Amino acid sequence: MAEKTNIAQYPSETDLQLIIALQKANYDIFRAKTEEEIFGALVTILKTSPFQSAYYQITGNQFQITAMGGKLKESTLQMPPGAIQVSPADIAAKYSGGLVLTELDENSRLPFEITSLLKSSGCVHGAYIPVIDSVETIGVFFFGSDQPFDRATLDPFISLADLLPIAREKVKANRAIQQRLREMESIATIGQAIATATDLSNLFSIIHEQIRTTIGDVFFILALYDAPTNTIQIPYRYEDGKIDKIEAFPLGEGLTSILLRDRQPLMIVEDTDRRAAALGAKVIGKSAKSWLGVPLIMASEAIGAIIVQDAEKEHRFDQNDLRFLMSLSVQVASAIYNARLLDEARQRTLQLKTAAEISRDVSGSLIVDDLLQKSVNLIHDQFDYYHAAIFLVDKNGENATIREASGEVGARMKAVGHKLKVGSSSVIGHVTSKGEPLVVNDTNRSPIHLPNPLLPETRAETGIPIKVGDRIIGALDVQSRRPFDFSDETVKILQIVADQIAVAFVNSELFADAQERLSQHRLLHHVTTAAASSTTIDEALNSAVQGLQVTLGGDQISILLADREEKTLEVKSAIGYTDNDVFAIKIPLNTGITGWVASNRQPLRVNDVTKDLRYIGINNHVRSEMAIPLIYRNDVLGVLNVESTKIDAYSENDEEMLGTLGGSLAAIIAHSRLLEQFRQQVEFDRLLYDITTKIRRSTNINSILETTANELNKTFGARRALIKINLENLKKDY
């Protein structure tokens, strides 16, 4: 439809007021520093308009109402539609030129919604003026009146339409300047904070505050990457006014992992789900409408990332925000890198100091229990771990039992004798079986971690073997509330501590062995002295078995002597047996354990008599036996035999000790026998002398014979003595 050129007649005073109002509005718009101020001036202008007026911004494929007003009767004013759909083709065809005048009929060039609104308000004539920024239409003024429009009346609005893009660019430029100033101020502030920050948590708060000042109150994450464990930790997370942290987790397939892996900034401000999927990222939970992240790069390696999100708005971030975070990331990466180095150095120094303190205690103390208690407490307190314990492997190598542990939980575990089977599916079971350190960085994902209801907060565990050479003494168990908390350096330091504990055990065992051997040798000396001072062989043997029972702690002890004529061993002295019939036992040489020892002239230690066919069962409760040959001058005099109800009751030290005693006891037996023989010879000579003396005192043959017979009866205990004399032979001699 052709444009109308009819001239509406308006009072000159009205024209003047409109021109004045528009000039003032133009001035206000030109001075505006924000878009809100521009739109406020538009509202003021349209309210003074002599006809129905509205200004719509173009956003995407929509007209969005910005300002409205007019001078028609209030009863006829209606609220215009807030949004009107419009195609890019219509914008290019209808709203890319200048002023358009039209009738509000079926051929109106205004949008249907605007035409209907103006007609319902009593308007017959319409007009619109596009607002064009360069070649882009950014908005449209719509007008309606019951009188025809003339160009002169709308010229001030045409000037206003020309001014709006300029004002908007001015506002954008001013905003960019202010944004840049805020960025520079934030970067300077963070630079100062970096110089004064004492720890990472304080630094994170400062970084977040500056980002909130510059970008706004948005979801904020500061992530740290640990290359040795290939994990991400989020020590600072802000959302909905709350600050928290997320424990370490493996580098995965999320946007943060992609950002760290690619080491390139990433900004997604629309259709985030589709674009994230195109990048290969998996989104867990509610996705953000706008996502912006920059990596923290140090020495060409990613050490972390700064991420901001908006869960509600698309296009929340722009290139200015990206540039700001990239500028900020340089200083933040350097600060975090240095702070982590300092923190790691402090922690390593403290750990080494703790290891050195334990080492000093090892060299200065032989009381192993005190050392173990101090060790677990130092590891728990100085290393800041959840739990520390020391397990020891039993003699049979079957179980690892807790010997010392930290805290109240440790005391409860000690009280019940908590133990784990060597080789079981547990950290301690593995370490005590293999003799190698084992680290479980995430207990929720590891089948080898054995959960303990007394330690529900454990998220990481390491076991360190306590061993000397190939001998596994036990294991050091350390647990943490933080996953991926055990670095290679930490494990090495804990191994140093475990090695020191192993040295302490060896020293303690050597000292205990020395003390035990000293005590045993003292007792042996006492036994040997007591036996040597005995007046008879029976007294010497009884003294020996009694002393040995004190030394060995209540075992069954017997001394068997060899009978050369019958080729047997006879029990001559015994203690610890409930049945006295043991003295009636005669064991043929080369029969049983004692017979084998006598025949082979060498000691024998049997750890389990039920597995040795040579054992002759006297007491069904006996489980282990040790027999020592009593040899003097290459002559086997007998066997010293000890028995216990425990399996593997005797050690090499016991065998050495009894071997020493056996040599002394054999000499005592031989000397006692010689002494006994000498006493018998002396007694025989004395009796012979007495008899001959009495015989010589007799005066006749009958008296001599009678005296001789009587003395023989007394000496040999005979009931009758008969002396025969062959008188015929006696006569022949004379």
Structural domain count of the chain:
5
State mean pLDDT over 167-173. 78
CB 637 within 8 A of CB 661: no
- pLDDT given for residue 514 in this prediction: 65
pTM value surpassing 0.75? no
Rounded to 5°, angle at Cα 653 from 649 and 659: 100
Specify whether 201 is located in the same domain as 171.
no
- pLDDT given for residue 6 in this prediction: 43
The yes-or-no verdict on residue 398 having pLDDT over 70 is yes
* Residue at a domain's end among 654, 670, 686: 670
What phi and psi, each to the nearest 5 degrees, are found at residue 653? -65, -40
The yes-or-no verdict on residue 29 having pLDDT over 80 is no
Q: Which of 390, 399, 352, 348 is nearest to 371 (CA)?
A: 390
User: For the ranges 18-32, 46-60, 222-236, which has the lowest average pLDDT?
Assistant: 18-32
- pLDDT given for residue 428 in this prediction: 93
- pLDDT given for residue 76 in this prediction: 44
Residue 499: band (very low, low, confident or very high) from pLDDT cuts 50, 70, 90: confident
DSSP letters for 498-567? HHHHHHHHHHHHHHHHHHHHHHHHHHHHHHHHHHHT-SSHHHHHHHHHHHHHHHHTS-EEEEEEEETTTT
In a domain, 30, yes or no: yes
State mean pLDDT over 273-292. 83
Specify whether 49 is located in the same domain as 132.
yes
State mean pLDDT over 184-195. 64
State mean pLDDT over 372-390. 85
In a domain, 184, yes or no: no
* Residue at a domain's end among 345, 373, 389: 345
- pLDDT given for residue 5 in this prediction: 41
User: For the ranges 10-14, 226-230, 713-717, which has the lowest average pLDDT?
Assistant: 10-14
**DSSP run (H or E) holding 432:** helix 427-434
In a domain, 169, yes or no: yes
Enter the tokens of residue 88. 């890019």
C-alpha span between 317 and 326 (Å, rounded): 13
- pLDDT given for residue 462 in this prediction: 94
Specify whether 609 is located in the same domain as 637.
yes
State mean pLDDT over 490-518. 77
99 three-class SS: coil
pLDDT for 335-359, tens place per residue?
A: 778 777 777 777 777 777 766 766 6
**Cα R_g (the chain), whole angstroms:** 55
Residue 122: band (very low, low, confident or very high) from pLDDT cuts 50, 70, 90: confident
What phi and psi, each to the nearest 5 degrees, are found at residue 56? -115, 135
The yes-or-no verdict on residue 3 having pLDDT over 60 is no
- pLDDT given for residue 720 in this prediction: 72
Specify whether 100 is located in the same domain as 234.
no
- pLDDT given for residue 7 in this prediction: 40
In a domain, 38, yes or no: yes
In a domain, 459, yes or no: yes
- 707: domain range? 701-733
- pLDDT given for residue 478 in this prediction: 94
State mean pLDDT over 484-495. 85
513 or 661, greater pLDDT: 661
Specify whether 141 is located in the same domain as 204.
no
C-alpha span between 357 and 372 (Å, rounded): 13
686 or 238, greater pLDDT: 238
CB 432 within 8 A of CB 422: yes
Q: Residue 610: how many CA atoms within 13 Å on its side-chain side?
A: 10
State mean pLDDT over 44-57. 83
426 vs 432, 443, 462, 477, 481, CA distance in Å?
10, 11, 11, 11, 18
Specify whether 385 is located in the same domain as 276.
no
Residues ≥6 apart with Cβ < 8 Å to 669: 537, 540, 541, 561, 630, 632, 637, 638
CB 289 within 8 A of CB 304: no
pLDDT for 444-460, tens place per residue?
A: 888 889 899 999 999 99
**DSSP run (H or E) holding 165:** helix 151-196
The yes-or-no verdict on residue 247 having pLDDT over 80 is yes
User: DSSP letter at 444?
Assistant: G
Q: Which of 580, 576, 560 is nearest to 568 (CA)?
A: 560
303 vs 187, 221, 339, 368, 518, CA distance in Å?
20, 14, 12, 44, 62
pLDDT for 197-210, tens place per residue?
A: 556 777 788 888 87
Q: Which of 369, 479, 458 is nearest to 414 (CA)?
A: 369
Residues ≥6 apart with Cβ < 8 Å to 710: 721
C-alpha span between 156 and 18 (Å, rounded): 8
State mean pLDDT over 236-255. 88
C-alpha span between 320 and 218 (Å, rounded): 15
Percent of the chain that is helix, strand, coil (3-state, to 5): 50, 25, 30
- pLDDT given for residue 645 in this prediction: 87
In a domain, 280, yes or no: yes
- pLDDT given for residue 295 in this prediction: 94
What are residue 464's DSSP bridge partners? 476
Kindly state the percentage of the chain with pLDDT values over 90: 17
Sign of CA dihedral 705, 709, 714, 716: positive
The yes-or-no verdict on residue 393 having pLDDT over 80 is yes
The yes-or-no verdict on residue 658 having pLDDT over 90 is no
Specify whether 309 is located in the same domain as 217.
yes
What phi and psi, each to the nearest 5 degrees, are found at residue 49? -65, 140
* Residue at a domain's end among 655, 670, 685: 670
The yes-or-no verdict on residue 391 having pLDDT over 90 is yes
Specify whether 26 is located in the same domain as 160.
yes
Residues ≥6 apart with Cβ < 8 Å to 685: none
How many residues appear in the chain? 734
Strand order from edge to edge, sheet including 100-103: 83-85, 62-69, 52-59, 136-145, 125-133, 100-103
Q: Of 21-25, 389-393, 618-622, where does the model show the most confidence?
A: 389-393
Specify whether 167 is located in the same domain as 275.
no
Specify whether 18 is located in the same domain as 166.
yes
The yes-or-no verdict on residue 82 having pLDDT over 60 is yes
Specify whether 317 is located in the same domain as 378.
no
CB 463 within 8 A of CB 438: yes
> Dihedral, CA atoms, 64, 68, 74, 78, nearest 10 degrees?
-10
Rounded to 5°, angle at Cα 524 from 520 and 529: 150
Q: Which of 408, 239, 220, 410 is nearest to 317 (CA)?
A: 220
- Mean residue pLDDT across the chain: 80
Specify whether 405 is located in the same domain as 256.
no
261 or 107, greater pLDDT: 261
Environment class of residue 524 by beta-carbon count within 10 Å: exposed (0-12), middle (13-18) or buried (19+)? buried
5 or 244, greater pLDDT: 244
Here the CATH number for the domain that contains residue 31 is 3.30.450.40
In a domain, 271, yes or no: yes
C-alpha span between 56 and 131 (Å, rounded): 10
The yes-or-no verdict on residue 696 having pLDDT over 80 is no
Strand pairing report for 387-393 and 471-480: antiparallel
Kindly state the percentage of the chain with pLDDT values over 70: 80
C-alpha span between 686 and 437 (Å, rounded): 82
State mean pLDDT over 407-414. 90
In a domain, 50, yes or no: yes
Q: Which of 671, 629, 622 is nearest to 650 (CA)?
A: 622
The yes-or-no verdict on residue 376 having pLDDT over 50 is yes
- H-helix segments, 570-726: 592-600, 652-697, 701-716
479 three-class SS: strand
- pLDDT given for residue 227 in this prediction: 86
Residue 420: band (very low, low, confident or very high) from pLDDT cuts 50, 70, 90: very high
Sign of CA dihedral 303, 306, 311, 313: negative
